[in-house]
Amino acid sequence: MQVIKKIGDLRVILGEYRKSGKRIGLVPTMGYFHEGHLSLIDAIRERVDIVVVSLFVNPAQFGPDEDLECYPRDFEQDEQMAKERGVDIIFYPDKDEIYPDPFFTYVATEDLSKVLCGTSRPIHFRGVTTIVAKLFNIVQPDIAVFGRKDAQQAIIIRKMVEDLNFPVEVVIAPIVRESDGLAMSSRNTYLSPKERKQAPIIYQSLKKAVEMVQRGEPDAGGVKHSIRQQIETAPLARIEYIEIVRERDLKPVKVIEPGTFVAVAVFFGKTRLIDNVVLK
Ligand code: PAF
């Protein structure tokens, strides 16, 4: 496995692979790997010849009061885990390599970025689409994989690829959960033991919502109310949003129709957790 820090070096190496007909897969990450990241690597390895994992904590997707400085990092551990999982190249650029100073050009998937998480994180998705567009241009992968945990991100990236004609197949891999149902996230490490104990209420409430819909409940308001009631049984939980939206445009629905999912954001202390399940 090679660790490459410079765009020029990466281009030379990948250019050679491409010339010899190899298919290239990209797993964009911000590091601090857990089983969720490793499942993305597994999902792509079987479809390509060369697996590139990018590891870059992207400042453009963090707001001024967010956790950029303290975002968890452990490059040596990530390197070891990636090697064991059969990654071929880790692209690990410095900030200056990615963002020349001054930097003026951003990519934004307008409306989809303003709802759900975009309400409280107004620049977040612009930062995500900008870095992902840059990574697509730098790596020129045949396939890239993203996790369904960040459903809004995955949907926005798919739309960006469609709207801007990136020749990249986007694969969305299922959420990986802890044994008690909590969706895996690098940010789970911020939770205190008490918060961690209560956090599985999120998935429990979502599972109950799926059951309600399977039993025939059509009313989005009723399902949201049930989720809220359950999450509020956890004293440390503070709900940011519970929304039932259409997969194709993230518009809220009143009646649960095929192609809708429920997405939630819940704070435990300062830690903001997100999760989602498909309802129909
Ligand atoms: O999901 C993430 O870790 C990031 O948002 C991504 C896609 C790597 C862009 O920085």
Q: Name the band, by pLDDT with cuts 50, 70 and 90, for residue 136.
A: very high
Question: Does 30 contact ligand 1 (Cβ within 6 A)?
Answer: yes
Peptide bond into 102 cis (omega under 30): yes
- Rounded to the nearest angstrom, the distance between the alpha carbon of 138 and the centre of ligand 1 is 16
Mutate to test the pocket of ligand 1, among 27, 32, 58, 168 (most ligand atoms within 8 A of CB): 58
Mean local confidence (pLDDT), 202-215? 98
Inter-axis angle of helices 35-45 and 75-84, to 10 degrees? 40
State the pLDDT confidence band at 233, using cuts at 50, 70 and 90: very high
- 3-class SS of residue 200: coil
Only one residue has tokens 């104990």, namely 197
Task: List pLDDT tens digits, range 12-46.
Answer: 999 999 999 999 999 999 999 999 999 999 999 99
Predicted TM-score (pTM) of the model is 0.97
Which three-class secondary structure state does DSSP give residue 160?
A: helix
68: buried, middle or exposed (CB in 10 Å: 19+, 13-18, 0-12)? middle
Q: What domains lie within the chain, and their CATH numbers?
A: 2-173 (3.40.50.620), 186-279 (3.30.1300.10)
Measured from the CA of 58, which atom of ligand 1 is nearest?
Answer: 10
**Residue of minimum CA distance from atom 8 in ligand 1:** 29
Q: Does the CB atom of residue 61 touch ligand 1 within 6 A?
A: yes
Instruction: Choose one of 71, 132, 171, 185 to mutate for the ligand 1 pocket test, by most ligand atoms within 8 angstroms of C-beta.
Output: 132
Q: Could you identify the residue written with the tokens 């690098």? A: 186
220 CB-contact burial (10 Å; exposed 0-12 / middle 13-18 / buried 19+): buried
pLDDT on residue 38: 98
Asked whether 131 lines ligand 1 (CB < 6 A), one says: yes
Beta bridge partners of 243: 263
pLDDT at 75: 98
**What mean pLDDT is reported for the chain?**
98
Local structure of 20: helix, strand or coil = coil
CB of 128 closer than 8 Å to CB of 39: no
Q: Where are the beta strands (DSSP E) in 35-189?
A: 50-55, 89-91, 143-147, 169-173
pLDDT of residue 117: 98
Reported as a single tens digit per residue, the pLDDT across 57-92 is: 999 999 999 999 999 999 999 999 999 999 999 999
Whether the CB of 58 sits within 6 Å of ligand 1: yes
**What percent of the chain lies above the pLDDT cut of 70?**
100
Query: For residue 62, how far is its CA from the centre of ligand 1 (angstroms)?
Result: 11
β-bridge pairing 271-278 and 260-268: antiparallel
Give the length of the chain. Answer: 280
The finding on whether 185 has its CB within 6 A of some atom of ligand 1 is no
Q: Helix, strand, coil % (nearest 5) of the chain? A: 40, 20, 35
**Is 29 close to ligand 1, i.e. is its CB under 6 Å away?**
yes
Distance 57 CA to ligand 1 centre (A): 8
Q: Percent of the chain beyond pLDDT 90?
A: 100
